[in-house]
Structure 1
């Protein structure tokens, strides 16, 4: 009999008690325990089973689950007698920062204090008997949401002391979604102050804590050591490019295909692979997102389940306001090509605006891009990553993102595209001015770019929008060599029904041109003089099927000719 599919249950004990669909990942327990790392940080994309695995560790090691063999019977870990004896024998501190999403520093610290105060409420049995002195009882009862920062920063270490004294064994600390508040701190503008607070909390909990047996932190990103882990020299970092625990998070292809067979969907393997396969962890390929597979098993239809539940606001802003180079690479990715880039997998959030290469690290950690190859270059062996869009589901996420840039009710972007296709200059001018007025500032990186660079940022965003709207009818390229120079935008028709289009963008130069019309003429002359049509003519497209457009910019005003 098929087991019920549960959508959203993240507690291991709930899944097992209700006999719901579950892919056995208990080998992770053995693998982690035998590696003997004191503190482990594991990064995986959103909804890849991090919380479920942390709950599983809690149920396995915590003495609160002693005598709960029923939770693990029939699973791989239970075949090993050594681990059957280990189950339920350690004090465990398990907390999550998933809900720490605040608009300011004080609220963020308060939310963390609330999580800590809840832990103290759960363990009030420590107040019984003579485990704590009178002084310690006062400290325990003062550990509330109103505690000061210093008490909060030492609270997990203090609780470890008392639990070790009570049980006679060092504690295991499990911290889920450690980086959720980091991203919020960056987005909301209180990064420096918040990381100072968290650095002290982590140092006390994981570095200067002699009562700690082991610890695991999970998150999406590897936040730089300098930011919050500067004192943790006992930290093992496991990212998506690491081989360690590669098949412990997410479903392997074998697991997915077995599940499809079990639920009578064995004939859907090829299309499921196209949509949801493609994640790579270390050298382990063909990893699938558990959220999408579970939903697919439940509903039986192809849909971007994972992509539609992800929060892409930060990624969208970083790409939208990025330089032309980043947008050109996104254009290549959207066309099904790979890109090769150099970046540091450690993310320094407060440097994201200054170091554009960090966007690739964020996209990789988030699961939107996958690694095809890593090439170590030079005497310093700097890693160069060859990246690709992960699968059809993540492609749909990017397309929705780029389309959303022009969804402003005043933008009339779709109307502009229609006018472009039918060659109506009058309508194109009306609608493009609406688009520029409504969206121009959102492509401004916020560093007072010059009047000349602003349109460049805008038009590359505009090209990404075209790629989404017209990818079935045109091959769309930008800033590529043809003839004697580099054109701005070229639309090459897929069939003979449509005309080819060459577009040149030009900023009005008051010293050289009297009017915007002069600027348009200059753009059109450049198309001709540089022979940008050469690429199209070489493909057999006749000159009478090639249209030229010059886009002249003056501030947010646009003239097309």
Structure 2
């Protein structure tokens, strides 16, 4: 199966911009797009039969293509990076040759472009996939980042001088490094990452899934013994919700969606494919609590910004795919950023749980499963007693005295209940508002810190929660909880409506 994105390829390669940059999170199809460009510029018309570009392109000119995949240069030092560049250049020097005086990577690249042009009589296409891969692991290292960045800047430097010999230059990456730091000479790169015409260039739109993957939807529904509409709802909740500009179609994570169809089940594919240790370190560095990750209103300059100069974690969260655009106000020009979907939220919270529980993390996940069992069996009092007991057995860890630590832990645990039931958790400054939907009941919970369960219950009534959720058609149970900071666990709670 190939989801047809070739219409975007034609538009991009025949636009007024010769140098184009696209940022998308990992596993979003950037490499497939780059490979599609490679085949298109090689004039391989036979590969595009039946696709949109077949009706748009008439010439199918064959250009010399230099395609550099930098994903092989992760976790490297300077010497290893230079060795990687050497291997990549050697591949093309076997085709176009190398002159004696070309020693450094930039000299060799410039020589390659000039000879490819001279030997073929056609301008050269340069494709650089994951340009930032060598830099991602050292983004926060004052010593290594400048060193590796200088190696890459030197490698890319000939592109400006070679402009007369270039047909098209395309760069992809996850992060947006400042133009000055990497492409110091190229002042005419067009960044299409937030351009509305290219909103769906990577990822799978809902329309594409419903039409081009219709058979897969039916097969998955049959396997899981649910209706087609139910399977669409499950896929949407788990893997949909990405927007890289506004307005934008809803985009599904292609890696997760294809794996769900292949395996016949809903697993955490995208999150499980990369350990976000660096992300956890950065959350700690910038003092970001779990409940502060989503629900932010910011200007575009706060997230579509160079990551190596960031003063808060927003650019990294957005460019890495942990938050995405959920709304935009043309009046204030503020974007709303939030966690895209259930898969990302659960994966993120499971990773963060270890931050609070350390060696008790597995016990914490077991507790969440037992909580779910008690809640679905409508034994909410037992569920809260279980949580109270578990939290009281977690030993006091370092750095837990600051206000908010245990609210953050509770936020993570409540969020993880979303593995099993529909959960929406918000915690503005020390309060946890949780709305939890089981097949039979809608629970509305409010948490207070060092107050009383009655105060929590009054807050629920003050906010008119029951009226707000009356249309859901389920009985509503109100739960007021007081958290005892001194004992580091739940103090008292009150349940109304059972």
Please give the TM-score of this superposition, normalised by the length of structure 2.
0.76
| 1:144 corresponds to | none
- Identify the match of residue 150 of structure 2 among 173, 181, 196: 196
| 2:466 corresponds to | none
**Structure 1 residues 93, 457: CA separation in 2 closer, same or farther (over 3 Å shift)?**
farther
Structure 1 unaligned residues grouped into runs of 5+: 1-20, 128-135, 141-146, 444-453, 481-487, 505-526, 553-557
Deviation at 1:172, TM superposition (A): 0.7
| 1:386 corresponds to | 336
Q: Does 1:59 align with 2:39?
A: yes
Q: Does 1:284 align with 2:248?
A: yes
- Tell me, yes or no, if the aligned pair for 1:492 and 1:500 is still in contact at 8 Å: yes
- Tell me, yes or no, if the aligned pair for 1:183 and 1:349 is still in contact at 8 Å: no
| 1:516 corresponds to | none
Q: Does 1:341 align with 2:306?
A: no
- Identify the match of residue 115 of structure 1 among 62, 80, 88: 88
SS at structure 2 position matched to 1:244 = helix
- Identify the match of residue 48 of structure 2 among 50, 58, 72: 72
| 2:131 corresponds to | 178
Deviation at 1:245, TM superposition (A): 2.0
- Identify the match of residue 247 of structure 1 among 200, 204, 219: 200
Q: Does 1:316 align with 2:251?
A: no
**Structure 1 residues 413, 172: CA separation in 2 closer, same or farther (over 3 Å shift)?**
same
Deviation at 1:182, TM superposition (A): 1.9
Deviation at 1:164, TM superposition (A): 0.7
Deviation at 1:251, TM superposition (A): 1.7
- Identify the match of residue 551 of structure 1 among 486, 492, 498: 486
Please give the TM-score of this superposition, normalised by the length of structure 1.
0.69
Deviation at 1:348, TM superposition (A): 3.5
**Structure 1 residues 388, 497: CA separation in 2 closer, same or farther (over 3 Å shift)?**
closer
Mapping of 1:403-418 within 5 angstroms?
A: 403-406=353-356, 408-409=358-359, 414=364
| 2:211 corresponds to | 258
CA-to-aligned-CA distance 1:295-320 (integer Å, 9 cap, x gap): 23322222222222134222222223
- Identify the match of residue 293 of structure 1 among 218, 239, 257: 257
CA-to-aligned-CA distance 1:229-264 (integer Å, 9 cap, x gap): 33211110111x321322322222221112332333
For 2:424 and 2:253, the matched residues in 1 are separated by 30
- Tell me, yes or no, if the aligned pair for 1:25 and 1:248 is still in contact at 8 Å: yes
Deviation at 1:475, TM superposition (A): 8.1
For 1:177 and 1:366, the matched residues in 2 are separated by 13
For 2:24 and 2:188, the matched residues in 1 are separated by 20
**Structure 1 residues 246, 412: CA separation in 2 closer, same or farther (over 3 Å shift)?**
closer
For 2:189 and 2:346, the matched residues in 1 are separated by 36
| 1:226 corresponds to | 180
- Tell me, yes or no, if the aligned pair for 1:413 and 1:431 is still in contact at 8 Å: no
For 2:276 and 2:237, the matched residues in 1 are separated by 22
Deviation at 1:199, TM superposition (A): 2.1
SS at structure 2 position matched to 1:173 = strand
Would you say how many aligned residue pairs link Structure 1 and Structure 2?
445
Deviation at 1:97, TM superposition (A): 0.4
RMSD in angstroms over aligned alpha carbons? 3.8
